Amino acid sequence: MRKIRRFWGMFLVLGFCAYLPVSVYAHAMWINATDYSPKVHPRHGAATKIYFGWGHHYPVDDFLTEEDLESCSMISSNGDKGKIDLGEAGFLATQLNFKKQGTYIITATLKPGFYTMYTEKGKTHHKMGPKTGLKGIILSLYYEQYAKSLINAGEVSGNLFSKPVGHNLEIITLKNPATLKNGDFLPIQVLFRGKPAKFCGVKATYSGFSTREEFAYATSTNAEGKAKIRLIHYGPWLIKAEMRLPASEELKDKCNQLHYTATLTFEVP
The predicted-structure confidence for 8-41, as pLDDT tens digits, reads as follows 444 443 343 333 344 445 689 999 999 999 999 8
Residue 248 exposed, middle or buried by CB count within 10 Å (0-12, 13-18, 19+)? exposed
Nearest alpha carbon to residue 109 among 77, 68, 163: 68
- Confidence (pLDDT) at 212: 84
- Confidence (pLDDT) at 26: 67
- CA angle, 29 as apex, 26 and 33 as ends, to 5°? 150
- Confidence (pLDDT) at 236: 97
Low-confidence stretches of the chain (pLDDT beneath 70): 1-26
With 0.85 as the threshold, say if the pTM is over it: yes
- Confidence (pLDDT) at 152: 95
- The string of DSSP letters for 20-82 reads HHHHHHH-EEEEEES-SSPPPBTTTBEEEEEEEEEESSSS--S---GGGEEEEEEE-TTS-EE
Half-sphere CA count of 84, side-chain side, radius 13 A: 29
- Confidence (pLDDT) at 213: 85
- Confidence (pLDDT) at 227: 98
The helices-and-strands tally (H runs, E runs) of the chain is 2, 17
How far apart, in whole angstroms, are the C-alpha atoms of residue 111 and residue 204?
A: 24
